[in-house]
Structure 1
């Protein structure tokens, strides 16, 4: 028997509006632990359907680095009912969009279609997730595609500097290794290894189905159940199996004061300066979000004004936070001429040090709260974003926090909260990752600046 209910802001049963005011969020748990969540938005003519998998690159051993992402590619390459071409053609024929992504802690496959074509999207994506044949020839062909993706990333220093920074902070640990894997690990992955990874992680208790748009919850549940029953996926598990809960009990290795410099013949030097942040379960994450927005979240932010507007030292500069189950990161990025990298780094350090010692003025924090509030709401103005919130919230927190509740958390942040988290986070010894053409003297200056 299905277990269903309407999900309120605290993740329990009971009627509630969605955070955007579009409609209610409902949740059903099917036998075997498969969760189905929907948010009805009757004012649109589209729907986005996604299946979230409770596995990411941090679940890989060193030898399996890149397996999660490799499998994400391979599941598009054919099932018992459809060839790779038929999978893509099915959505193309109705003007739909289909894609997937892999992160450190989860994977998502999704499709956006007209509301009338939602049953097709459910059938195709469900077929991919439950009935992939993992054809050896397709796996070999896709290996070349993934190696090209790695090469493309390596050619974009503004992108791969973040991988370098993750390695600077976490070392040769699951969080420090790249999601894509490396050329060596991807070349070593065999069909048998990928198949074992697939069987281990792609069972109903590890999956969350999320859909948002002009839809009917009961119809979605029926269609999802039919798609999984067709493949026998639900019958392969114990009917009393419980969904896998959010990640707990992990301990990431974090470094302080490390410097990683990668000498490359690029036109710019790309740097990330940062330190350990807070986990996604830490109540301080709301205050840290406000602090990050004030420091580097927009054109009026401290870093943007000091580095770009006043001194013209960089085109792109920003700050960001990343929250994982057991830890987090706070980072500042800038891309500048190699000759200016020491000056840019000094400004970044000065601004972070000042925020740690003195906090930020109330007017800047008020502006940051307003910016964060507006961007949160505007970021949920399409069905894809709503689907993303449903799936990620269920996997990461096991509940749905309404947008109204989220806005209340942001608005409740006080200057004292921001000062406290600034002292906790920014007063730590930072680490630094830089990619660019650096002289020995510049490298020495960068090491000294972080010491």
Structure 2
């Protein structure tokens, strides 16, 4: 009997010979790491962003302009995600799984409000195989009836039920709906009550794929691939990806518009509130919003210390409360959020403390030292994001596919360095004077209305 290790070794050797890939002995990882910036190019009409730190592994991702913001019917983005890496016209799902395992690779599919991400992680020499596989997924996937009912629909229902019982996630999802209505307000996962037969089936998913899996809507992002090899294999395997929809269909989204308002949802699984305001987007960044989020704060960055942030100090005596302040950026909008979860009474106290903290900033009653700390922390967060491989792939790909160039969080740093106490004060005053977005999920008898904590909706 042939051992599994022998089988894997022979499969790898045969595959690499057929691709003409260099042998392991030819690898050289002694070159210096790159600066971390991605270079963009156009290969056979496909937008490509890449950088090479000369490491032993590579991540390759297709980022499609197919997030929930762009779906014409509920659930289609999730449908595409679940059909990824199933049967194509050339390979069965079993073959894809076995070959990927033999090469030690990893495959993943995920989605955000703006993007669908198909990702492969693998050893550096296996670039040809995974480049070909990703090209097949976007151009040759079979959207079969039996897979939809046996796999996709079943998994989707499990994910929806899991999402519905994640109270903080439901609160954040509701906040987007209230803030933006359509587009960015579309649910990241449709609720379990969504009538699937009316909105989603394998034919609707296939039509959506035909419209979005075209070169203008795609970006290929590579981290850890030599430019000459990437150009060669992408040019060879992606040349047949269509430049336009075969049916002529196009799906898009209107420019985001912030509305604000309040939504309250009774839930027995826990308590959560999201207090949100217009934030900073990628195309028109507002560095003072990043500093404001850092000043409001979240978990302490120093062990055994409550932290410098205003909310850390204000909620130190509130038991059972989890909270975080962050700016969630999108291509043409952003949402500055404070997310609170825990016991209903604790969440109520945290919400009251949030408004008081914003008022103290707007009134200039914050120590200059705390603002300096917030600026330094916001700067660190922007730079640290560029060092994380997977989030960076998503970020860069979304930038390329939406604007033609990579989003570079590091570009925010100069703006953050120029933020002053007056700018932070003005930003806090602006959000308080405008319409807030408040989403409450849980025990509505205890959780406060927006007006009870001093917010306009």
TM-score, length of structure 1 as denominator length:
0.83
Q: 390-399 or 121-130: which moved more?
A: 390-399
- For residues 360-400 of structure 1, what are the alpha-carbon distances to aligned partners after superposition, in whole Å with 9 as ceiling and x for unaligned? 43212221222233333333335434433431331244224
Q: Does 1:305 align with 2:313?
A: yes
Which protein has greater RCO, CA pairs closer than 8 Å, 6+ apart?
1
What is aligned with 1:15?
A: none
Q: Is the 8 A contact 1:294 1:365 kept in 2?
A: yes
Q: How many residues align?
A: 409
Summarize the Cα distance change of 1:34–1:174 in structure 2 as closer, same or farther, 3 Å threshold: same
In structure 2, relative to structure 1, the CA distance for the partners of 1:341 and 1:383 (3 Å cut) is: closer
- Compared CA separation, residues 76 and 187, structure 1 to 2 (3 A): farther
- Say whether the 8 Å CA contact 2:326–2:336 is kept in structure 1: yes
**Counterpart selection for 2:237 from 227, 235, 246:** 227
8 Å contact from structure 1 (residues 67, 186) kept in 2: no
The alpha carbon displacement at 1:332 in A equals 0.7
Shift of 1:151: 0.3
Provide structure 2 residue ranges, at least 5 long, that are not aligned to the other structure.
1-32, 301-306
Specify the SS of the correspondent of 1:434: strand
2:267 match = 264
**How far apart are residue 354 of structure 1 and its match?**
1.9
For 1:39-65, what per-residue CA distance to the aligned partner results, in whole angstroms no more than 9, with x for missing partners? 0112x211110111122212223xx11
Q: Residues of 1 paired with 2:410 and 2:278: CA distance?
A: 29
Are 2:364 and 1:362 aligned? no
Alpha-carbon distance change, 304 to 93 in structure 1, aligned in 2, over 3 angstroms: farther
Aligned residue among 125, 133, 140 for 1:124: 133
The separation in 2 between residues aligned to 1:84 and 1:234, in whole angstroms, is: 23
Aligned to 1:290: 291
Aligned to 2:63: 52
CA contact (8 A) 2:163 2:189 kept: no
Cα distance change on mapping 1:283 and 1:388 into 2, 3 Å: closer
The residue aligned with 1:241 is none
Q: Which residue of 1 aligns with 2:99?
A: 90
Match of 2:166 in 1: 156
Q: Does the 8 Å CA contact 1:353/1:427 hold for their aligned counterparts?
A: no
CA contact (8 A) 1:321 1:328 kept: yes
After TM superposition, give the deviation of residue 447 of structure 1 in Å: 5.1
- 2-structure distance, mates of 1:21, 1:363: 35
Pair 1:26-2:29 in alignment? no
Over residues 399-436 of structure 1, what are the superposed CA-to-partner deviations in whole Å (9 max), with x where a residue is unaligned?
A: 24656544323223222332232222243242321111
- The corresponding residue for 1:99 is 108
Do the aligned partners of residues 360 and 98 (structure 1) sit closer, same or farther apart at CA in structure 2, a change above 3 Å counting? farther
Question: Is 1:36 the counterpart of 2:37 in the alignment?
Answer: no
The alpha-carbon deviation at position 298 of structure 1 amounts to 4.0
Report 1:129-144 matches (<5 A).
129-141=138-150, 142-144=152-154
How far apart, CA to CA, are the structure 2 residues paired with 1:46 and 1:444? Answer: 50
Q: 2:257 aligns with which of 240, 247, 252?
A: 252
Matches within 5 A, 1:315-326: 315-326=321-332
Shift of 1:72: 1.6
Counterpart residue number, 2:283: 281
Match of 1:343 in 2: 349
Separation (CA, whole Å) in 2 of partners of 1:385 and 1:344: 29
Change in 2 beyond 3 A, CA 1:381/1:446: closer
- The 2-side partners of 1:123 and 1:91 are apart by 12
Moved more, 295-304 or 195-204: 295-304
- Give CA-to-partner distance per residue, 1:207-264, whole Å, 9 cap, x none: 1111011x211211211122223xx3257789xxxxx9xx996142512xx3322222
In structure 2, the residue corresponding to 1:55 is in which secondary structure? coil
Alignment root-mean-square deviation, CA: 2.7
Please list every run of 5 or more consecutive structure 1 residues that lacks an aligned counterpart in the other structure: 1-19, 239-243
Distance in 1 (CA, whole Å) between partners of 2:268 and 2:115 is 34
2:390 aligned partner: 384
Partner of 1:415 in structure 2? 421
Q: CA deviation at 1:318?
A: 0.7
8 A Cα contact 2:400 2:407, kept in partner? no
Instruction: Identify if the C-alpha distance between structure 1 residues 313 and 101 changes in structure 2 by more than 3 Å, giving closer, same or farther.
Output: same
By how many angstroms is 1:133 displaced?
A: 1.1
Find the aligned partners of 2:175 and 2:94 in 1 and give their Cα distance.
Answer: 38
In structure 1, C-alpha distance between the alignment counterparts of 2:411 and 2:256, rounded to whole Å: 29
The 1:419/1:376 distance shift into structure 2, 3 A limit, reads same
Report which stretch shifted further, 427-436 or 124-133. 427-436
Alpha-carbon contact 2:396-2:407 (below 8 Å) kept: no
Higher mean alpha-carbon deviation, 412-421 vs 203-212, is at 412-421
